[in-house]
């Protein structure tokens, strides 16, 4: 393991670890869990004839120094891990992509890749799902936890295709930052939903997991809320939502299902080409607002984890960490 990203996404993985099997990626002793992270790793030693030592790959890793992989499906694009404990996880989470042939890879953007690529793919697929459904007839798109990087990526995609009015919900502390991104048409603080056009059809995409926010938006729009999509849970310690909500039942978005659908419809090559074009635009634009914070060692990891867990992380920063003795340049 060379380095990995730590974002609010990792907190979400822990929150839904039992429901979506994130704890099964890298199991450990009973009562403990290893949170997966997007990372770059280098093959230190290989017993597989088609996997070369020194090969650099991108994928899901534990926050650790080394990982033993049972490589299968080896081809010029990479390989998958056939470890028995990962058999029930989605194929995309078992894939390790070799950087030498990766159409999304640029050596000059490795940190941005770690921090944004995985969540951008989720946002790309959310946007694609909405477009595939005719946006459920919505004219307004309300995004909660608008300062989270997954939400920023979705707002970027919606604004690129001019889907409709994009409204971000965030804390007062982050409101100026979110408004300055240029991806949201309007940014409101939590609890102030009166300016939202309640008589117009809307879609709600929640990255917060905050019951009060979900109830507030459902109560404001009622039946005019055409779709309620749950993507993340940045407010991990917030109260759960009421089971009795006006409007549609909130639905958890499972990105691998949409990815599989499009890969089958478009073909893997076309699917990757579309992602690559969209990713390059967002990745390049991110340097206008994203500041990378590097750290090495267990203490740096714990410090960054607690900062994110306790809601003290700055939205314009991204943590790239390593448990190697010294961080790679």
Q: Which residue has the higher pLDDT, 238 or 121?
A: 121
* Distance in angstroms between the alpha carbons of the first and the last residue of the chain: 14
- The domain segmentation of the chain, as residue ranges, is 7-102, 116-256, 290-329
CA dihedral 292, 167, 13, 313 (to 10 degrees): 40
Residues composing the chain: 329
Is residue 152 within a helix (H) or strand (E), and if so which, with residue range?
helix 149-160
Distance from C-alpha of 160 to C-alpha of 225, rounded to nearest angstrom? 23
Distance from C-alpha of 252 to C-alpha of 239, rounded to nearest angstrom? 17
Alpha carbon separation from 224 to 144, 196, 200 (Å, rounded): 17, 12, 6
Confidence at 311, pLDDT banded by 50, 70, 90: confident
In the prediction, which pLDDT does 61 show? 96
Could you name the CATH architecture of 116-256? 3-Layer(aba) Sandwich (3.40)
Query: Across residues 245-268, what is the average pLDDT?
Result: 92
With a cut of 90, say whether residue 166 has pLDDT above it.
yes
Of the candidates 65, 106, 62, which has an alpha carbon nearest to the alpha carbon of residue 81? 62
Q: Which residue has the higher pLDDT, 329 or 207?
A: 207
**Exposed, middle or buried, 39 (CB in 10 Å: 0-12/13-18/19+)?**
buried
Query: Across residues 67-71, what is the average pLDDT?
Result: 96
With a cut of 50, say whether residue 327 has pLDDT above it.
no
Supply 60's token pair. Answer: 């899901």
Distance from C-alpha of 130 to C-alpha of 219, rounded to nearest angstrom? 22
Distance from C-alpha of 325 to C-alpha of 7, rounded to nearest angstrom? 22
Of the candidates 20, 7, 196, which has an alpha carbon nearest to the alpha carbon of residue 112? 7
In the prediction, which pLDDT does 326 show? 57
With a cut of 50, say whether residue 42 has pLDDT above it.
yes
Query: pLDDT (tens digit, 9 = 90+) per residue, 91-142?
Result: 888 999 999 999 899 999 999 999 999 899 999 999 999 999 999 999 999 9
What order of strands is seen across the sheet that includes strand 71-75? Answer: 71-75, 78-81, 95-98, 56-62, 36-42, 3-6, 317-322, 291-296
């Amino acid at each position: 393991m060379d380095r990995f990203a730590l974002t609010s996404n990792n907190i979400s993985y822990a929150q839904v670890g039992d429901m979506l099997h994130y704890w099964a990626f890298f199991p450990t002793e009973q009562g403990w869990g290893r949170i997966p992270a997007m990372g770059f790793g280098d093959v230190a030693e290989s017993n597989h004839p088609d996997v070369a030592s020194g090969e650099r790959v991108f994928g899901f890793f534990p926050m650790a120094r080394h990982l033993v992989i049972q490589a299968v499906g080896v081809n010029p694009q990479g390989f998958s891990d056939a470890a028995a404990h990962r058999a029930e996880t989605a194929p995309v989470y078992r894939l390790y992509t070799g950087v030498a042939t990766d159409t999304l890879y640029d050596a000059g953007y490795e940190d941005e890749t770690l921090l944004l690529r995985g969540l951008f793919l989720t946002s790309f697929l959310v946007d694609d799902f909405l477009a595939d459904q005719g946006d459920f007839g919505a004219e307004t798109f309300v995004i909660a936890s608008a300062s989270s990087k997954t939400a920023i990526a979705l707002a970027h995609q919606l604004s690129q295709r001019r889907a409709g009015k994009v409204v971000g919900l965030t804390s007062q502390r982050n409101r100026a930052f979110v408004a300055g991104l240029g991806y949201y048409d309007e940014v409101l603080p939590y609890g102030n939903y009166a300016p939202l056009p309640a008589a117009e059809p809307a879609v709600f995409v929640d990255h917060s997991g905050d019951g009060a926010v979900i109830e507030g938006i459902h109560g404001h729009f009622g039946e005019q809320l055409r779709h309620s999509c749950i993507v993340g849970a940045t407010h991990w310690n917030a109260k759960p939502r009421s089971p009795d909500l006006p409007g549609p039942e909130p639905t958890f978005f499972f990105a691998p299902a949409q990815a599989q659908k499009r890969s089958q419809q478009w073909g893997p090559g076309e699917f990757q080409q579309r992602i690559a074009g969209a990713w390059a635009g967002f990745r390049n634009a991110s340097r206008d607002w994203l500041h990378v914070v590097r750290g090495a060692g267990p203490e740096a990891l714990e410090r960054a984890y607690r900062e994110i867990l306790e809601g003290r992380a700055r939205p314009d920063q991204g943590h790239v960490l390593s448990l190697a003795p010294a961080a790679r340049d």
